[in-house]
Amino acid sequence: MTTVAPISTAPRDAEPVTEPAAAAAPLPTRPPTGAQYLRALDDNRAVFLAGQRLTSIADHPAFAGPARSIARLYDALQPDHPLHTTLTRPTDTGRPGFTHAFFRVPHSAADLLASQQAIAAWARLTYGWMGRSPDYKAALFASFGAAPEFFGPFADNTRAWYARAQTDLPFTCHALVNPPIDRHLPPDQITDVLIRPVRETSAGIVVSGAKVVATSAPLSTHVFVGQTGKSAGDDPALALAFIAPIASPGIKLICREPFTREDRAPFDAPLASRFDENDAILTFSDVLIPWENVLIHRDVKRTRAFFTGAGFVNAFLFHGATRLAVKLDFLVGLLSRCLQATGADEHRPAQVLLGEAVAWRHLIWSLSTAMAAAPDPWTGRAPASTALAPQRQAALAYATFAPQCTARVREIIQTTVASGLVYLPAAVDDLLTPETRPLVDRYVRGSKGMPADQRIKLMKLMWDAVGSAFAGRHDLYERHYAGSPDDVRLQALAEAQRYGRLDAMHTLVDRCLAEYDLHGWIDPTWAAASSPFPSSTPFPPAHPPHPLAA
């Protein structure tokens, strides 16, 4: 990889406290197979769960199901898989082989529609429940290929990572948010908890601090660490972005409580047992970041502008909308099945609410397609570049309305399925026990001849989707997927102002106002067909229009 000189003039120590993790051996298959991905997790990473350092991630009960769900995605890329053609395209970096379509810089609406199909095909393998699948970070890597100039002195690093990502498809999580401590203070006053440089060496930057929430970090191979515009602050030392292997010495992950449970049968937790994306506290203690992995360093302006300036925001919202659209396909289909199981499918009130859920599904799919079909020039690209980005207007509309959509669909499910969500035996054991099975068959059967085991299977799947701890975490995830609700709306306003769209709306209103005044119609279209406004008193003299009503 290309190494660039640091732009800091700070003195460097001779040696770092820790050495970087050894470079991984080239994978025999690129992209990797599922089995190769699982073996890659056995890299001595420091993952802690309930006070225990885990010795095997892929086989631990908290991670085995989700890890195999990710492995299944990698297997779907391989040439002998039925989805290979939908998912992949040849690389565009000069390296041989193929890549997931979303990892390539798009240059046409057709390219973006192909990416949409690839994102959706992978999302269907997890029914839309894994939002941080490996293709999520393709939005970041594509920005490296489309707008490397944005990264200034580190542009060659981004070009190298763009090429590497296409062939290796590394499962890369991200950590952007500072620990929620002393949020009433500016970032440069709480530096003891923030990711910050400890010193610089000829090999790279040594950093310490923490980030939250690193979703899927225990299952990732790399982490991208950056800042949101709000969390950047004014201190150049904190203006830092880089990529690090999860197994780097000095990185420790402290995981939240998992929603997978070894003692629960798949029948009782069919979603949580396979798709729980564990969120971790990501800590760095004197971790060496080699210069070739540094993307932004001591550059406040670039740090604050990254989301929009590099084009990342358009791409990650495109992935989010497409994945959510697949999730809504699943939820609406499951809702319809549950209503059939209770006989409520023939009741008009339930039909009305099901129709509303269908319309929410249509809205998100339409926004995803609009992003692809009417793209924008990629922000930050070189003047001669033909790179295109998903349409920003539709992307920000998705970011604004997605939380309302998921909350409303969940409310519709709880309203229509109602007690059916809790009128259930505790576990599959009640169906396997001779003493209780006859009672369950009689009293918990479904409508229209549906056997009890089929009804219970449907309702337990729905409970895992909207009522379990796993579902509660997903509700929070969807609410804050694109950031603070206030910030999302302000971004929509700023976009309309920046590109003259709000001015165009003003012009439309002003044209209407200019067609009449106190004396009647000014526009001849209507003036010829109307008489003066009847009045018993003379019209007062006209006043100049107020600037805001011009």
Q: pLDDT tens digits, residue range 214-270?
A: 999 999 999 999 987 666 678 898 899 999 999 999 999 999 999 998 778 999 999
Task: Return the pLDDT at 538.
Answer: 55
Q: Report residue 259 as tokens.
A: 């929603």
Residue 513 has pLDDT above 80, yes or no: yes
Task: Tell me if residue 53 falls in helix, strand or coil.
Answer: strand
> pTM value?
0.91
CA nearest neighbour of 141 among 174, 108, 94: 174
* Confidence at 382, pLDDT banded by 50, 70, 90: confident
Task: Return the pLDDT at 126.
Answer: 98
Task: Return the pLDDT at 228.
Answer: 78
Q: pLDDT tens digits, residue range 6-61?
A: 333 333 343 444 444 444 444 446 899 999 999 999 999 999 999 999 999 999 99
Q: pLDDT tens digits, residue range 32-42?
A: 999 999 999 99
Q: pLDDT tens digits, residue range 282-311?
A: 999 999 999 999 999 999 999 999 988 999
Alpha helical stretches, state H, 155-299: 155-168, 272-275
Residue 2 has pLDDT above 60, yes or no: no
Domain ranges of the chain: 313-498, 501-549
Q: pLDDT tens digits, residue range 534-543?
A: 555 555 555 6
Q: Which residues contact 459 (CB under 8 A, 6 or more apart)?
A: 338, 341, 417, 420, 421, 423, 424
User: First CA to last CA across the chain, in angstroms?
Assistant: 58
Task: Tell me if residue 200 falls in helix, strand or coil.
Answer: strand
Residue 5 has pLDDT above 50, yes or no: no
H/E stretch holding 235 reads none
Task: Return the pLDDT at 30.
Answer: 83
Average pLDDT value for residue range 481-501? 93
427 secondary structure, DSSP code: S
Q: pLDDT tens digits, residue range 309-333?
A: 999 999 999 999 999 999 999 999 9
Backbone Cα Rg of the chain: 27
DSSP letter string, 296-330: EES-HHHHHHHHHHSSHHHHHHHHHHHHHHHHHHH
Q: pLDDT tens digits, residue range 110-168?
A: 999 999 999 999 999 999 999 999 999 999 999 999 999 999 999 999 999 999 999 99
Residue 209 has pLDDT above 90, yes or no: yes
Task: Return the pLDDT at 530.
Answer: 61
Q: pLDDT tens digits, residue range 416-438?
A: 999 999 999 999 999 999 999 99
Reduced 3-state DSSP string for 342-374: HCHHHCHHHHHHHHHHHHHHHHHHHHHHHHHHC
CATH number of 313-498: 1.20.140.10
Average pLDDT value for residue range 388-414? 97
Contact between 190 and 337 under an 8 Å Cβ cutoff? The reply is: no
From CA 328, how far away is CA 407, in angstroms rounded? 12
Q: Report residue 110 as tokens.
A: 């057709």
Residue 364 has pLDDT above 80, yes or no: yes
Contact between 254 and 283 under an 8 Å Cβ cutoff? The reply is: yes
Task: Return the pLDDT at 371.
Answer: 98
Mean pLDDT rounded to a whole number for the chain: 91
Share of the chain above pLDDT 70, in %: 90
In DSSP terms, 376 is beta-bridged to 389
Residue 83 has pLDDT above 50, yes or no: yes
How many residues in the chain? 550
Residue 277 has pLDDT above 50, yes or no: yes
Cα 81 to chain centroid, rounded: 26
DSSP letter string, 86-115: HHEEE-SSS-SSEEEGGGSPP-SHHHHHHH
Residue 197 has pLDDT above 90, yes or no: yes
Distances (CA, A) of 212 to 178, 215, 296, 340: 6, 8, 19, 42
